[in-house]
Amino acid sequence: MALHSSREAGLDSTEHGRFEPEKHRKNLLAIVQEIEALPNTGAVVDPSLMEGILRRYPRDGRGFYSRAQLIAGARYLAAEGALDFDEERFASRVRMRPVRTQSGVTPLTVLTKPYPCPGRCVFCPNDVRMPKSYLADEPGAQRAALNRFDPYLQTWNRLATYRAIGHPVSKVEMIVLGGTWSSHPESYQIWFVKRCFDALNDYGAGRDHRSEVPGDSVDFGGLVPQEGRNYNEIVGEHLRGRLGGEMLGSEESAEWSELERVQQENETAACRSVGLVVETRPDHLSVEEVERIRRLGCTKVQIGYQSLSDKILAANKRGHDVAATRRAMTWLRAGGFKIHAHWMPNLLGATPESDRADFERLFGDADFRPDELKIYPCSLIETAELMDYHRRGEWRPYDHGELLEVVTTSLARVPRYCRVTRVIRDISSDDIVEGNKLTNFRQIAEQELERRGGHCQDIRAREIRAEQIDEDSLVLKETRYRTGIGDESFFEFVDSADRIAGFARLSLPTRIADLKELQGSAILREVHVYGVATELGVRSVERTQHRGFGGKLVDAAKQRAQHEGFGSLAVISAVGTRNWYRRLGFEDGKLYQHLALS
Ligand code: SF4
């Protein structure tokens, strides 16, 4: 593994600033040795134990060392030969926010630059300093702005920060957010993704080309709302004014061949893309668009359903109908993509009763049934057009009881094959004019559901995180359900308590595929094995990730596809997982990998 050498990695200049471990050698050595002496349960060190150790060796006689400083210090001491130990294991024991990487992969979110959006949605914030729908004080948005919305800087610096605070960075899911991806020019899309791959490849190889990134030609920081003008007008004019009449800078463009070259390099890089996600609107998808985002290396699409009622979509000026969402789902599913839907209760015109009926359609109708779901109750933001409706008394946020009822009944209806990734958007309470400001609403709704004698069976409620598992208790379970293009088999390894150690999604289409490459094939849409993300190539005896569950899930999919009469199995592999599938016998096609079934 290349990555940065231990010494360089320990001293990365990141958001955490510069730290010189040599000045603290004695204390750091003592702290690391005490932590190493604790029994290794495979979990993060108990916070009270950690606090006791840190108190015994105060920084500069008073303060505590941060987790990032401890990890930087341990890497430095190991590189100096003062310690002989497994620095990655040490990092995993003291890492901050372990939950981030407990699902097996490290997520890395980057934002596109502010850019006009084809949507006119009344609930959408209009912060002209940010890509459409984001707010300047959201942490992810702040990071993006600090990095001038540049994809290379955002990716490289985030990798450095993750590594400094103890998260593995070898398997990364790149999540590209901001506005409507598909409305950006193709050359910008290629360039943006290429620069993310450049950063993954460079960071993994110990290269740092951040200083070569051109300076900020379009500073959005000073941009302010203007009376009577909308987001698109203000941002569009600002871009054109700074870029000689153009919306994109001359450097923000790349060719497919350039992207393909860096993708190939990423197949064996130390930081690999094991997933690439973009977000878009249903009416901006088509067979051609699906093929294009696949060519970018994309494996998952975040798509705003928002509502499954034409009346509500129209009232909120979404600009598309439910039929558009149906069509988009059909194309995405036929292309094997994982589908991450956004659904919004409390939209203009909705009631708690209509929302409950809407949610029924989400899983009751075979055309929808997303793999992942964000439940984002509509929030009232000062810059959104919804404010006008609120002032006129035509809309109000649900009260606590109404919202609790909608969210609780929704969570109870999520099937076991779906993962609810978020409930309530994580925006600052200062930005919410009126309505729910509790960010732990999911927890509150789950408790309410339990009080009513129910429970959540979605993936997130059941996934095995840092806990030990008894491998012998795991059984393979298959759930079949109908989709808009055929059948779907959801395979999962579960223990006796129904906790999930890994799963696979297999699409068994009954209609002719849009893409020639997929005709006659069953499609493996996802293979996911839980356990703390371990570095690629490192065996971890305590974790589930490298113990062959992935291979077993692929075998189960193969057998099912064969049994259903398919002649081949295609997989929508990420760039960084292509080698793994090759080892399992898959052969490279144009956009997918394929396994002939005898
Ligand atoms: S499409 Fe999305 S980003 Fe665009 S206005 Fe609608 S909600 Fe906002």
> How many angstroms separate the alpha carbon of residue 134 from the centre of ligand 1?
10
The minimum-distance atom of ligand 1 relative to the CA of 231 is 5
Q: In a structure prediction context, what are the per-residue pLDDT tens digits for the chain, which is 598 residues long?
A: 444 433 333 334 444 456 888 888 888 888 888 887 777 666 677 777 788 888 888 888 778 888 888 888 888 887 777 777 676 677 777 776 555 555 558 999 999 999 999 999 999 999 999 999 999 888 889 999 999 999 999 999 999 999 888 888 999 999 999 888 988 999 999 999 999 999 999 999 999 999 999 887 778 878 888 888 899 999 999 999 888 888 888 899 999 999 999 999 999 999 999 999 999 999 999 999 999 999 999 999 999 999 999 999 999 999 999 999 999 999 999 999 999 999 999 999 999 999 999 999 999 999 999 999 999 999 999 999 999 999 999 999 999 999 999 999 999 999 999 999 999 988 888 899 998 999 899 999 999 999 999 999 999 999 987 666 777 889 999 999 999 999 999 999 999 999 999 999 999 999 888 899 999 999 999 999 886 444 444 334 344 544 588 999 999 999 999 999 999 999 999 999 999 999 999 999 999 999 999 7
Sheet holding 486-494, edge to edge: 475-483, 486-494, 500-509, 521-529, 568-571, 593-596, 587-588
Backbone φ and ψ of 191, nearest 5°: -60, -45
> How many angstroms separate the alpha carbon of residue 318 from the centre of ligand 1?
8
Question: Does 345 contact ligand 1 (Cβ within 6 A)?
Answer: no
Which residue, by CA, sits nearest to atom 3 of ligand 1? 179
DSSP 365: S
Q: In angstroms, rounded to a whole number, what is the distance separating the alpha carbons of residues 85 and 80?
A: 12
**Residue 94 is inside which H or E element, if any?**
helix 87-94
> How many angstroms separate the alpha carbon of residue 120 from the centre of ligand 1?
7
Q: E strands along 226-296, which residues?
A: 272-280
Contacts 24+ apart (CB under 8 A), 95-100: 95/44, 95/67, 95/71, 95/165, 95/166, 95/167, 96/67, 96/68, 96/165, 96/166, 97/165, 98/44, 98/466, 98/532, 99/465, 100/167
* Dihedral (Cα; 279, 593, 565, 510), 10-degree rounding: 30
Question: Does 281 contact ligand 1 (Cβ within 6 A)?
Answer: yes
The minimum-distance atom of ligand 1 relative to the CA of 306 is 7
- Which pair of tokens denotes residue 484? 């808009």
Contact (CB, 8 A) for 308 and 365 = yes
> How many angstroms separate the alpha carbon of residue 319 from the centre of ligand 1?
10
Residue whose CB lies within 8 A of the most ligand 1 atoms, among 112, 113, 117, for a mutation test: 117
Q: In angstroms, rounded to a whole number, what is the distance separating the alpha carbons of residues 256 and 189?
A: 10
Task: Please choose, from the candidates 170, 202, 176, the residue with its C-alpha nearest in 3D space to the C-alpha of residue 104.
Answer: 170
> How many angstroms separate the alpha carbon of residue 33 from the centre of ligand 1?
52
> How many angstroms separate the alpha carbon of residue 119 from the centre of ligand 1?
5
Residue whose CB lies within 8 A of the most ligand 1 atoms, among 111, 112, 113, 121, for a mutation test: 121
Contact (CB, 8 A) for 179 and 112 = yes
Residue whose CB lies within 8 A of the most ligand 1 atoms, among 111, 135, 180, 230, for a mutation test: 180
Which residue, by CA, sits nearest to atom 4 of ligand 1? 119
Which residue, by CA, sits nearest to atom 1 of ligand 1? 119
Three-state DSSP state, 196: helix
> How many angstroms separate the alpha carbon of residue 132 from the centre of ligand 1?
6
Place of tokens 């604790």: 38
Q: What is each CA distance from 466 to 92, 99, 457, in whole angstroms? A: 11, 8, 19
Q: In angstroms, rounded to a whole number, what is the distance separating the alpha carbons of residues 479 and 560?
A: 12
Question: Does 341 contact ligand 1 (Cβ within 6 A)?
Answer: no
At residue 532, the pLDDT reads 45
Q: What is each CA distance from 539 to 75, 134, 512, 544, in whole angstroms? A: 20, 39, 41, 10
Question: CB-based burial of residue 116 (10 Å sphere; 0-12 exposed, 13-18 middle, 19+ buried)?
Answer: buried
Question: Does 342 contact ligand 1 (Cβ within 6 A)?
Answer: no
The minimum-distance atom of ligand 1 relative to the CA of 117 is 4
> How many angstroms separate the alpha carbon of residue 405 from the centre of ligand 1?
27
Residue whose CB lies within 8 A of the most ligand 1 atoms, among 120, 133, 283, for a mutation test: 133
> How many angstroms separate the alpha carbon of residue 118 from the centre of ligand 1?
7
Question: Which residues lie closer than 8 Å to 307 by C-beta, 6 or more apart?
Answer: 313, 316, 318, 343, 344, 347, 350, 358
Place of tokens 């900020």: 216
Q: In angstroms, rounded to a whole number, what is the distance separating the alpha carbons of residues 441 and 461?
A: 15
- Which pair of tokens denotes residue 505? 């999604």
Question: Does 307 contact ligand 1 (Cβ within 6 A)?
Answer: no
